[in-house]
Structure 1
Amino acid sequence: MPSYIYPNWLQLVCLFGVAISIGSPAFAAPQNDARNTPLVQAIKGCSLSVVNLRGRKTVTADIGSDSESKQVNGMGTGVVIDSRGYVLTNYHVVQGVKKIEVTTSDRQKTTAKVLAHDPETDLAILKIDLPSELPTIQIGSSSDLMLAETVAAVGNAYGYEHTVTVGIISQLGRTVQVNEDQVYRNLIQTDASINPGNSGGPLLNLNGEMIGINVAVRIGAQGIAFAIPVDDALEVAADLMRNLSAQRIRHGLTTKTILIENQPTVFVDSVIPNSPAAASGISKGDRILSVGDKPVKNRLDFECALVSATGKTGTGAFPLKVEVEHGSSQMTVAINVDRVTHRVSDMAWGSLGMKLVSASDAEMLDRHPTYKRGLRVVSVRPGSPADSEGILQGDVLVAMAGYKTESLENLQWVLEQPDLQQQASFMFYILREKEPFWGKMRVAMRNFASGN
């Protein structure tokens, strides 16, 4: 069980535990039984949306002046945030785990793939595939939490699956530093018993709504544990999913979440001119009600729907049905979504002489303090602008013409700017291993656009 030592007095453990797997008991109570309290109902309502995670990872322990690495069995918890199999958990639960084993509350077993993660906030999104759709966790809000409000934690504590503990909200807005690299901000403090294996599990209110993601506990203390507020977690998760969809499709919408009577509501924040969204008639300020056949209750719902849409078969553009509230009326529009990969690949090969793919999070880890994402060069066309500037296979393009190139959608937007063709040259920045390089490049003639 990894622990984190703090300067002078604070010692925390992120709750990715080493334990054994033990089945969870089933129970039932008559609906009119006095024991069937709101808390009991809350736990019943969420149990199918909580999954248990386990896997092996390598940990390093300091022994005197030496260090020793060993394999340990670790456990954690995840919550189903979308019925298509998207699961939210803590990044430290899955970091370094090659095979993530998942068990649902009805004993289905499968493995998960890490789709995206954010080390700074310690959140990760997993994808699991099962024959049927999964029940999703009911989402609450952390904007109206009250001190001494009753809460419950559910998780895979020490491998005891779906363990339930109860406490109160002890304080809000805590900042906790677990080591030199990891600082959590705006945390919920609770005295609900949280143990190794609880990481990534939900902190619930009495309505059965998730209001936090359990993340850490102070070692040596009693009743001091912490959770990431759900509003913060959902925004990070939505950004992670947006980065995924931006690598594959282009729609031209940005959205924002606004709380109305403490309920999240999703509005169109901007529409890029001449984009598929602009052509559909959708406008800034429209409220998004659904995408496809899935209702949209928060920005994460919207982004999950887009990521799922990227899995549609075919190579060309495809229509995406979006229901919106425009003023006092509702309407359904069809956004003719572009597939980024195909179009941008041709544009980059033709105008720059590079074939590019999105660099993975693992490739970008610790490469540069400013550039966290970029596009890896797969090949360079001889005699092209990229070849003339000495760009090599394996380099990562992180910026050009004054804009970051964090995704293929970013690159497409830059290449489509009318003034780019008029410039004698433009600046570009690449990373070669961890070393930054820059140069000046000119877009090639348009007759290369076919990729010949």
Structure 2
Amino acid sequence: MACCSAAVAGELRRTAIVEAVERVRTSVVNIHGEKTLAEGEVPPAGMDSDRRVNGMGTGAIIDPRGYIITNHHVVDGVDPINVTLADGEECVAKLVSHDPDTDLAIIKIDVSKTLPVTPIGTSRDLMAGETVIAIGNAFGYEHTITRGIVSALHRTVQVGDNQKYEDLIQTDASINPGNSGGPLFNIDGEMIGINVAVRVGAQGIGFAIPVDKAMQIACELISAKRLQSVWHGLVVESEPSQHNPAALVVRSCDSDSPAAALGLEVGDRITRVGSLDARRPMDLERALLGKHAGDEIEIVLDREKAESKLHLKLVDLPAHLKPNDEPIWELLGLRLKPISGDDFRRYQTRYRGGLNVVAVRSGSPAARQGIRRGDVLVGMHIWETITLENVSYILNRPDFASLSPLKFYILRGNETFLGHMSVAGAKTR
């Protein structure tokens, strides 16, 4: 009798929260490492010694081959990026792609086993008051579990001068330092958000990026066009039907693309790409990870309730579709964004305009010279840099190779700094 009572008690303790955590905790990873914070002026004018600080965060596995989504600020400047799996295995990750504006990044670990993937839900139907669960590396305590409710939706949070989050989920689940980049789950164990921010000094107030927005950004970050410079020509979106709950519908198909040549049309329903069920646009890009021009992949269509199989051959991305800032990224290691006239005037400087530095590639010429995210590039050599076209003009000049080391001017706060960077492939005078 006592045995039966104990069994019943155990079942009563196995709540929906316990069951959700048991299903998903192995798909959550802990991220840690050291970050270099450069201080002082831009070299060669003089810079104080670098400071090494410990960083920590959390990530969610989105592909069994080791692709993980997290916050950009968790991995920005961290080298190496150390990842601990739920079973204690330690790995070193590489940064695959990132977007500072949305504070999201994709990293990858190389493992010999198939990893559990975080179940992905939707943030479209979230309800204020519903139960949520956070799993993360809180204060360095790995796989800490907290619970709470959705306190509010569509929140806007300003963090410092350079980071503004919009349309966030607010929750009273404890979101502590180290939780950043980790998943927020619903009671069914589906990820409905990526934890991003905590109000310092506030209790019971945490925030998360809605999962639908996060997956849209993740799709762009891992796209074949971005990572492998290959092209398929499709624009798709999720549209499950009663006949087939796992499907993508083709919304557009470039007329001269490989997809169009194959006969794909607007309105076609894609149910499978390679070995993956096609539930959301990210599944199409996941299936193409590691593919190159000339590779083929099978696409399964649902046309009038009949299954059709096609083989899509990828091609090199046409020159006119390549981002116009790619040479800037490749040569200098900078992602730049124009600044409106009204926003620039607050700097109260003699310069007419500039470009905001939104990302700096680790180990690049810009990084070696101490240029940071948030700086404003106002000039290079004898030319002003108000638009991306201004920078492209400089990089495309016939005599560009003779300009190295390239003189540059940046604004940091209300101060102007001068520096010189040596550009790979350019002649040093």
TM over 0.5: yes
CA contact (8 A) 2:328 2:335 kept: no
TM alignment of 1:54-65, pairs within 5 A: 54-59=32-37
Work out whether residues 228 and 291 of structure 2, in 8 Å CA contact, stay in contact via their aligned partners in 1: no
- Residues 83-108 of structure 1: CA deviation (Å, up to 9, x unaligned): 12110000000001121011111122
Please tell me whether residue 47 in structure 1 is matched to residue 17 in structure 2: no
- Counterparts in 2 of 1:39 and 1:49: CA distance versus 1, 3 Å: same
Equivalent residue, structure 2, for 1:307: 289
Residues 258 and 313, structure 2, Cα contact 8 Å, conserved in 1: yes
Judge conservation of contact 2:36–2:52 (CA < 8 Å) in 1. Answer: yes
Kept in 1: contact 2:328–2:391 (CA 8 A): no
Structure 1: tracts of 5 or more residues without a match? 1-28, 311-315, 349-355, 374-398, 405-428, 440-452
Closer/same/farther in 2, CA of residues 288 and 198 from structure 1, 3 Å limit:
same
Instruction: Report if the CA contact (8 A) 2:97-2:221 is conserved.
Output: yes
Contact 2:246–2:277 (CA under 8 A) maintained in structure 1: no
Match status 1:283 vs 2:265: yes
Q: Distance in 1 between the 2:224 and 2:61 partners?
A: 20
What's the counterpart of residue 431 of structure 1? 391
Aligned pairs for 1:235-384 within 5 A = 235-242=216-223, 244-245=225-226, 247-258=228-239, 265-310=247-292, 317-340=294-317, 359-360=329-330, 363-366=333-336, 368-369=338-339
Q: Does 1:164 align with 2:145?
A: yes
1:45 is paired with a residue whose SS is helix
- How big is each residue's C-alpha offset from its partner over 1:243-295, in whole Å with a ceiling of 9 and x where there is no partner? 6556432222122234769x885221211123211122222111221111111
Letter in 2 for 1:111: V
For 2:3, the equivalent position in structure 1 comes to: none
Shift of the alpha carbon at 1:367? 6.3
Aligned Cα root-mean-square deviation (Å): 3.4
Q: Is the 8 A contact 1:279 1:335 kept in 2?
A: no
Residue matched to 2:68 = 87
Q: Partner amino acid for 2:219?
A: A
- Mapped to 2, the partners of 1:226 and 1:83 lie a distance apart of 27
- 1:422 alignment counterpart: none
The residue aligned with 2:114 is: 133
Aligned-residue offset at 1:69: 5.0
In the TM superposition, residue 431 of structure 1 has moved relative to its aligned partner by 2.0
CA distance 1:130–1:297, shift in 2 (3 Å):
same
Match of 1:179 in 2: 160
- Pair 1:198 & 2:168 matched: no
**In the alignment, does 2:197 pair up with 1:227?**
no
Distance 2:133 2:49 in 1: 38
Distance between the aligned counterparts of 1:156 and 1:240, measured in 2?
24
Give the Cα separation in 2 of the matches to 1:240 and 1:228: 16
Check 1:245–1:436 CA distance in 2 against 1; reply closer, same or farther (3 A cut). closer
Distance in 2, Cα, partners of 1:296 & 1:41: 27
Q: Deviation at 1:303?
A: 1.0
Cα distance in 2 for partners of 1:288, 1:146 equals 30
TM-score by length of 1: 0.67
Corresponding letter in the other structure for 2:278: V
Letter in 2 for 1:39: I
* C-alpha contact 2:258 2:315 (8 A) present in aligned 1: yes
8 A contact 1:30–1:36 mirrored in 2? no
Size of the aligned set, in residue pairs, is 337
Q: Is 1:38–2:20 an aligned residue pair?
A: no
Equivalent-residue separation in structure 1 for 2:246 and 2:160 (angstroms): 33
SS at match of 1:307: coil
Deviation track 1:86-132 (CA, whole Å, cap 9, x = no partner) reads 10000000001121011111122211111111111100011111001
SS where residue 194 of structure 1 aligns?
coil
**Which AA in structure 2 matches 1:323?**
V
Shift of residue 432, structure 1, vs aligned partner:
5.0
CA distance in 1, matches of 2:290, 2:250: 20
User: Would the aligned equivalents of 2:96 and 2:106 in 1 still touch at CA under 8 Å?
Assistant: yes
Match for residue 146 of structure 1 among 127, 138, 162: 127
Letter in 1 for 2:309: T
Residues 363-388 of structure 1: CA distance to partner in whole angstroms, max 9, x if unpaired?
A: 23336558989xxxxxxxxxxxxxxx
Give the residue type in structure 2 aligned to 1:301.
Answer: D
In 2, Cα distance between equivalents of 1:246 and 1:278: 22
Q: CA deviation at 1:360?
A: 4.8
Q: Deviations over 1:191-219 (max 9, x none)?
A: 00111110010101000000000011111
State the AA in 1 paired with 2:269.
R
Tell me the residue number matched to 2:377.
none
The C-alpha deviation readout for 1:146-194, integer Å capped at 9, x for no partner, is 1110111000111111000011110000000112211000000000011
Cα distance between partner residues in 2 of 1:293 and 1:264: 13
Equivalent residues in 2 for 1:398-409 (5 A)? none
- Whether contact under 8 Å (1:82, 1:301) holds in the other structure is no
What amino acid does structure 2 have at the position aligned with 1:325?
Answer: D
The change in CA–CA distance for 1:297 and 1:163 in structure 2 (over 3 A counts) is: same
Letter matched to residue 90 of structure 1: N
Q: Distance in 1 between matches of 2:331 and 2:145?
A: 34
Whole-angstrom CA distance in 2 between matches of 1:209 and 1:362: 41
In 1, distance between residues paired with 2:19 and 2:302?
34
SS at match of 1:297: coil
